[in-house]
Amino acid sequence: MILKRFLEWVKAKVAIYTTDRDSFFRFLELCLVIFWAILAGRPFLNLDPDSWPSGREFPFSILANYFWHDFFTCGLCALWNGMELGGHPALLDPQGAPLHPLMALPTLFWGAVNGGKITIVLSMAITGLAQWWLARLLGVGRWARLWASLLAVVAGSLSGRMINGQVTSVVAIASASLVIPAGFNLATKGSLRAAIIFALALAQTLLAGQDFSLIALLLAILPMALVYSLSHAQYPDRLRKMRLGIGLGVLLSAVYLVPQVVHGNKIDPQILPESLNVQPLEYLPVNLIIRDPEFFHSPQLKKAPDPGLYVNYIGWVPLLLAILALRVYWKEKRFAFLYLVGLIVLCFLAAALIPQRWIESILGITWFTSKRLPTLIATLTLLPLLGLAALGLDWALAFGPMVTFGFVPGKEWKTTLSSILLIVPLFWSILSAYRFSALWIRMEDCPRGAKTVLKVMTSPSTAWIQWPPNEPYWLVFAREADLKTADTFRGWNLRERTIPPAQVFARRPDETSPGESVAVLENLVITRDPQVAYALLSFSEQPPLPCQATAYGGSIDVLCNHQKEGMLTVFEHFWPGWRAWIDGKPARLIEGEWLQLDVPPGEHQITFRYLPWDVPLGLALTLIGCGLAVRLWRKDSAREKPSPQVVEASAQEHGCTQAEDGQDAAQHRGDD
């Protein structure tokens, strides 16, 4: 039934686009923006699984997406990610966004690696469409909004994040970009549909799970949307709809938010020193006009030599057009300008950590200053800036004397002189951004002999393994082979949890590792430590004995056979939600760092399952939010659709019925 209604809706929309000229051209604009995103991101459409985006953080950004591989492999066991650093709840990863549609859908169709590439291209398209939507809400003409949209696709706000391969940051920027026009739309129209659309955009940003986008929401986007709502005469209704949209957005993303609220205090983010990742406010706008790669690799203007934090290039042309718009339209569109300029100012302030410090010093709340990568908040200034630039361009295109061209005898084409003069700078602005972005939108090949190494690293019983440092691509290879990595870099850690002991090591020849040498492959020395085991049975008066174990996600099965009572330690992090059974009978877990319980003598099958309560609760709230959104949407549709009695009465007021209207129209066509 739902699919049938969706197809009917699509058919109706296609009919509108093919019959209405303006709707048809708008449809072409959207198609052009999507095509431009595909063209600009075409290197990422290389679906060779051994060819990855060049940023070194790309593997870390997609690891959380293996949640879907685990889900279709073992169901609910996917709720525990037991593949890195001792394990953790899969939906608690602040560096990933497995539930975000832009992450989930490509992963389901193309896998984690190729899905990550498709996600980047989709994010570029979403950002361009968000820019187009904002320009249309501002009343900008076709050519100006199309130019702004094409520029948004290749702006440095997205491509700059690919310097380090930060896929989740790209998704967060694209999602937050949708909230900006959605908030403006809600404050302008104040309808139920606008509130639902705003809630959907807000939920996408929350599901992206990135600290900088959340801070931008709380300190910039939502405050300015509320302020803009107050500018309308019907502001009480606007504020009610805004509260509805915010509440519904939180409800829709509850499946992600509930685990964060329950366990978020157990996460220890790795905060870089303030001097390394926060650039002073007066220097942040300079990043909008600089496209010199060497500059971003240097510590000039008090920044870290890390381009991935600061690249936001759009060039001089949009800035000059934005200034022109402020000069021309200030009185006419002052409230819209308040929204856009307020967003720009607040995002720059938050990127410099200024309001966060005020909140900490006045209210004593350190939550805002403890979030990672605040400098990335500056990326969200580009959308309102390009919105202002589109307004300025729209005015400039209509300014000046008219010029007439006669390419075809008997037909003339008229345009303003300014339209002709602006062709070159407008084209150059897009071309310069495209060429600069192309420096970071590139691929690199990974080692081809990984499968041979993985076969040697595999053990009959589950074991933690250790890869060479500073080679993150091994994490993805290990994940594909369902191998557990003991230690690796991660932007966060679990409090009061340590790294599990590794049994198998892969090191370069110049590095040392414990254990006995097993093989030398692909310039890697493989060693195995027989004294280490994943599941270990300890006794009071004799050395510990290993037990056979099979672990996948939140499903662990251990087989022990011994003559004395002992304590079983499974080197998987203990967490609320773990349950244990011995030979099918419930057993009591000993709270601590690892999964531990007492095992009686004899041969026993010990089963561990991770069954949390927070994820089902969050999923239930999300489903309630979906049902509420559908109900409100249908309610708004029924309110807008006039009843037959109203249509008939309206026709009679004009002196005829609908049938008479048809007869008059037929007679008129006959007269013609």
- Tell whether the torsion through CA atoms of 7, 12, 15 and 16 is positive or negative: negative
Helices 222-229 and 235-252 meet at what angle, rounded to 10?
150
Please name which of 376, 350, 315 lies closest in space to residue 173, comparing C-alpha atoms: 376
For residue 590, what is the DSSP state? B
In Å, how far are 9, 17, 18, 642 from 12, measured between CA atoms?
Answer: 5, 9, 10, 18
Provide φ and ψ at 115, rounded to 5°: -65, -35
Annotate 456-477 with DSSP letters as a single string: HH--SS--EEEPPTT-THHHHH
Q: What is the pLDDT of residue 14?
A: 62
Q: How far apart are CA 474 and CA 454, in angstroms?
A: 9
CA distances from 289 to 299, 306, 311, 345 (A): 17, 17, 10, 17
Instruction: Find the largest Cα–Cα distance for the chain.
Output: 110
CATH topology of domain 535-610: Immunoglobulin-like (2.60.40)
Give the number of other CB atoms < 10 A from CB of residue 440.
Answer: 22
- Identify the three-state secondary structure at position 573: strand
> pLDDT digits over 543-599, tens only?
888 999 999 999 999 999 888 889 999 999 999 999 999 999 999 999 999 999 999
Mean pLDDT over residues 335-344, rounded?
A: 91
614 backbone dihedrals φ, ψ, rounded to 5° = -70, -40
Section 234-244 average pLDDT = 87
Q: Is the pLDDT of residue 618 over 90?
A: yes
Q: Hey, what are 65's tokens?
A: 């997406």
- Picking from 558, 584, 587, the residue whose alpha carbon sits closest to that of residue 570 is 558
Q: Which tokens in the block code for residue 462?
A: 């589950």
The predicted model scores a pTM of 0.89
Scan for tokens 């309001």, then name that residue.
Answer: 355
Total number of residues shown for the chain: 672
pLDDT at 2: 54
- In the chain, the percentage of residues whose pLDDT exceeds 70 is 89
CA separation, residue 179 to residues 91, 183, 216, 328, 484 (Å): 23, 6, 11, 27, 38
Residue 196: which pLDDT band, with cuts at 50, 70 and 90?
A: very high
